[in-house]
Every structure is written in structure tokens, then in C-alpha cells.
Structure 1
Amino acid sequence: METGKLIKELRLKKGLTQEELASRTEVSARTIQRIENGEVDPRAYTLQMIANALEVDFSLFVENEPKEEVQANDEKNWSALLHLSGIVPLIIPTLLLWTNKKDKTNEVSHHYRAAISMQLCIWVISLIGLWIYWKTNQSIPIIIGLLIGSLVSIMNAVFALFDKPLINPFIKN
């Protein structure tokens, strides 16, 4: 239940009008009305005053707050971490992260496929670089390949945090 609806329900159970609740707090009747209608989100201090006036515990309002934004940020953070695990071309850390979060976040499978395909690209570039090193004794291709792969993994992690399309030729966004 939204905080405003909860306040209204508690106020009505106490038999108070919005004006009476406002007089028991340092909040105007118009502000009480706007809170109850969901037009504004009350500050913690205002919620404390309302909780005191309604004789309820302040935590009732705090526990009632929606956690969707926190979950969305957590999902973005895990997706970014998944891409950062691609810096090291080992599939094990990425696989461990994916198995830990695959049932808890919505878009983790998309980010997992992107991170794994990037790691596979880094492996292929590394193998080609090793072959060039073996034939010509030049280590520059392998170093450039690893740097580009790491840079793309870091950029994808940042893009995952800001909901931007990922850099990956093999995965459609």
C-alpha cells in the first residue's frame, strides 16, 4: 500500500479530518491532502510528525515505501559487474555471477550472453595474437587485442549502468 493511502486509512480509523491531523502536526491541511492523494512524497521528518499524531510507529511508513528503484539499481549494478568480469578472459567468474543472479534479476541473461560472447572474442583475438607472436615474434597484436577487449568490457559495464545499448556485434540489443 502506498504511504499516502496508508496515512489516509490510519487517519480515518482515528476519526480525524485532514484539518485535525494538520493541527496535530506542523503540516498544512493542503500538504496532508496532497500526501494522501499521492501527489507528493513526504519527507522523513513529516512522516515522523504524522506517525506521532496518528500514534503509530514511524517504521510502518518506512517499511511501506516501494523498493522498485533500489531493485532496478541493484540489477544494473549486477549487470555492470557481469560485464566487468569479462576483462579477464576467464568464463568461470562470469558463470558464477550469472548462476548467482539468474533467478533474481530480469535482464541478467541478456548481459550474460553479451559478456560471454565478448570473452570468447577476447579468446579468439588472443589465440590469433599468440599465433602471430609464434610466427613473427611480435607481441603487439596480442596486447592490442587484450586492451581492446578490456576497454569494450569496461564500456559495456558503464552502458549497463546507464541503460545504453551494449557494444557487441553478436548480440542484438
Structure 2
Amino acid sequence: MQHVMLLILILTSHASVAAIYQWTDEQGITHFSDNESKPESATEIDVKLTPPSIASLIQSRTPAASAANTSNTDMLLIPIGVSINSPIDQQTLRSNSGEITVSATLSATLTYGLNIRLLIDGVIHSEQIDNQFKVRHIPVGTHTLQLQIINNLGKVIASSELITVYLHRFKAN
């Protein structure tokens, strides 16, 4: 369909070519114009336009040229996924200092400009490129954890499932 439209555009533009006029002024400079308001010394010149072939138009488009206009978000051709590897959903964690480690598993390598964001109870805790988060001073109780992949503009590209963990302190008998 694109080739047909391109061919129609080329053929119609070829038929609508205006006359081109040439003249030399008093300083010896040669001028070309398609404007009807030309000096009397101007002569119409015969311009033969040959429309390019469709094959030459397709071949002239190189991958390097088309990739030059892409942004960071366009560069992400492989969808990326993230999941929480550790802790697991409904796990009870015991830590007197309130420290937990959250490990992420990614389906692809992070590209430039992407970060992993950790949310605890729906609130952003931190963002980093490392897939392991060391979190300290978490209060005792039930908490939800989620990971997100974000781009350099803060847009969420992927999210893990929401998991629930229970933090308890060690008891001494």
C-alpha cells in the first residue's frame, strides 16, 4: 500500500512541474527560478525529471539512518519483565533490626536509562540498577512489596506482582 501511494505521489508531482527560467544579471551571476516575475532576458529551460524507482528508495533507507532518530523508550524492543524472587508471597520474616532483602529477577538485561523501583506498602522506597535491595528499619507487621521497572522519565515499563510478607522479631524464651 505504501509503495502504491509513493508511486502515485511521484507520478503526480512529475506532471505538475512548473517551468524553470534561467537568466544572467549585470554582475554575471546566473539565476534559476520558477517564478513568473522574471526579467525579459530569462529563457525557459527544459528540465527532465526522472522519478526514482521504488527499489532505489527502499535500498537508500539504511538501518543506521532510521536508528539515529530513535529515543531511549524506542530502543526497548524486547519487553522486560520483573518479579520478586525473594522473599516469597505470604512469607514470615524474622529480624530484630527490621532488615529484609528483596531480590528481583529480570526477564532481560536493563538497558541504559532503566531502573528498578521498590515499593513497600505502596510507597516508593528506593530506585537502583542492582537487582537486590537491602531494606532496614522496617516495622513489625504486615507489608506489601512490589518492584517496577521505570525509564529515565519515571514512566513504569513493567511491574511485578504484589506480594505480602509478615515481619516478626525473634523471641527469647
What's the TM-score, normalizing by structure 1? Answer: 0.31
Q: Which has the higher helix share?
A: 1
Q: Which is greater in Rg?
A: 2
What's the TM-score, normalizing by structure 2? Answer: 0.31
Q: Which has the higher strand share?
A: 2
